Chain A
Amino acid sequence: MNEERMDALDSEAMISLRDLRVSYGEREILHGINFDVMRGETLVILGGSGSGKSTLLRTLVGLERPSSGQIWIKGKDIAAISHAEMDEIRRKIGMSFQGGALFGSMTVGENVALPLREHTKLEDSTIEIMLRLKLEQVGLAGFEYYMPSQLSGGMKKRAAVARALAMDPEILFFDEPSAGLDPIIAAGIDQLILELKRAFRMTIIVVTHELASAFLIADRMVLIDKGNIVAIGPTEEMRASIQPRVRQFLDRVAEPEVARELDYLQMLTEERGRRGTGAT
């Protein structure tokens, strides 16, 4: 494959969002989001707590249904497709959850092998080889017989990444990859993401509020606040941005969480109405 061809491939949009709106009950969380994610790029979605960034991620992997708008993934609008078609797309995406979300009743190896056992007709011996390969990729070689509860926080995340990689996905999603980890372990996870990007030219979407990690891994960034995109652009452009809201976030300028008591009360009561949904 020559360079030009590669460039052409890279400029193809893997994911396109068109006026995406998501609501929990009466409350709208995302107010019309538009952006594209190109093939092979790493996009970091930044935002504070309650900004809607996790909701955006959950919507992208089909865990929440948008109230309106379109989500084109690999040429299909996942807001409108059938369950079976969605499952088809899900086999091409991997997701690493905040806490790892490993199945506690299975060993690390069984966790990683699960998608392969479910979706392929591979021999057990082949699956065994593949799972060792995946564990090696994330630096967990030899840990296949451990239970998730025996692993440290960072190792759990790595195991979760190995599981997300099991089906050789084209798109990889990360929810807060460095949350709850000490800086050294978190840096290790950042390195892992960079390696995946280099080795497989995977399309990677990371949701985080860790600035250092975001600037290290991102090709482009999206800053989300209160369900709207504040800024989107290449990492360097963001770093140099003079937009007040961007600067405030990047320079970590403090702001009272809620301006008035009554607003907070209203927020709380709305929160109660959102029963059964996950974090923001």
Chain B
Amino acid sequence: MQVVSQIGESVTNSLAYVGSLASLGGRAAYYTFVAPFQGKPLRLQRAVSQAMDVGVRALPILSLITFFIGLILALQSAYELRKFGALNLVATAVAVSMTRELGPLITAIVVIGRSGSAFAAEIGTMKVTEEIDALETMAISPIHFLVTPKFLAMIVMLPCLTIWANSMGILGGALFGVAQADFTWARYIQASIDALFLRDITTGLIKSVMFGITITAVGCLEGLSTGAGAEQVGRSTTRAVVMSIFLVVVVDLVFTVLFFFVSGS
């Protein structure tokens, strides 16, 4: 009996959590897409500086990681393809798995580590020092003031980063192709482009937008629900990272299933 009630409790808790995420996301969407037409201007300046943080400053580390991932993918697929003497299919394998899956996913994970955690820490600290309360007593919505610019920055920058990550991954694969599989750089790139359908790229980008929304919602929600005391900020940050990674994988699964059946029919 106790087990059942415990399961029930954790299910309701998870549903409540998803509910608060959706409510936060909904309010941020309102301030991003509706409120600007009702005389509440967007904070473009803040959004741009967030976008610099989320996007541009992530480029070096993201490039390096996805280049290596591309190389690893090429090596791993070559291990199998070699048996069939089909090493020239390495380009296809790398290009498709990068754009459809690993590009968006690796980008999301790098962004969670750099920005999702930073969102939670920033908002959590503001909560502890009563800055969030101060905003409210000044009749300024913390969602409008803090969360909306982050949403905007994420929704724009994550797809951009994903495109960049895809290209770096393909470049990583090309290094193997040129060194081991008798490709030239130009031929490898051409083979990758031939292997890709536009659909492969767009599904990856749609996913990355959803990841961006998820990461921002979790980071900001964890920040806003920080309790009293500095040690709570650390706890929120950790929770933000763990929950984001988990939810990004769940969202990934849902959309992959969706795309599988949509494009299969």
Contact = CB atoms under 8 A, between A and B. Distances in A.
B48 to A, nearest CB: 15
B138 A275 contact: no
B134 interface: yes
Interface in A243-280: 275-279
A167 B139 CA distance: 11
A101 B127 CA distance: 9
A115 interface: yes
Nearest to A167: B138
| Main SS class of interface, A | loop
B130 A98 contact: yes
Chain A interface size range: 20 to 34
B136 A114 contact: no
A87 B228 contact: no
A114 B129 CA distance: 18
Contact of B139 (A91, A98, A104, A277): A91
Contact of B228 (A86, A103, A277): A277
A62 interface: yes
A32 to B, nearest CB: 25
Contact of A97 (B133, B139, B225, B228): B133
A71 interface: no
A275 B227 contact: yes
Interface in B100-157: 126, 129-131, 133-134, 136-140
A276 B227 contact: yes
Contacts of B140: 114-115, 118
A118 B138 contact: yes
Interface string B152-195: 00000000000000000000000000000000000000000000
Nearest to B122: A105
A276 B225 contact: yes
Interface residues of B, number: 15
A101 B134 contact: yes
B225 A63 contact: no
Contact of A63 (B137, B139, B227, B228): B137
A7 B217 CA distance: 53
Contact of A119 (B130, B139, B227): B139
A194 to B, nearest CB: 23
Contacts of A58: 133
Contacts of B227: 275-277
Interface string A210-221: 000000000000
A208 B139 CA distance: 25
Interface string A88-111: 101101110111011110000000
Contacts of A17: none
A115 B228 contact: no
Given A276-B227, A279-B228, A95 B137 contact: yes
Contacts of A90: 136-139
A98 B228 CA distance: 14
Contacts of A91: 139
A61 interface: yes
Q: Nearest 8 CB-CB pairs, A to B?
A: A90-B139, A101-B134, A87-B139, A101-B130, A95-B137, A97-B130, A276-B227, A115-B138
12 contacts: A58-B133, A86-B139, A88-B139, A90-B137, A91-B139, A101-B131, A103-B126, A103-B131, A118-B140, A119-B139, A277-B227, A279-B228
Interface of B: 126, 129-131, 133-134, 136-140, 225-228
Interface of A: 58, 61-63, 86-88, 90-91, 93-95, 97-99, 101-104, 114-115, 118-119, 163, 167, 275-279
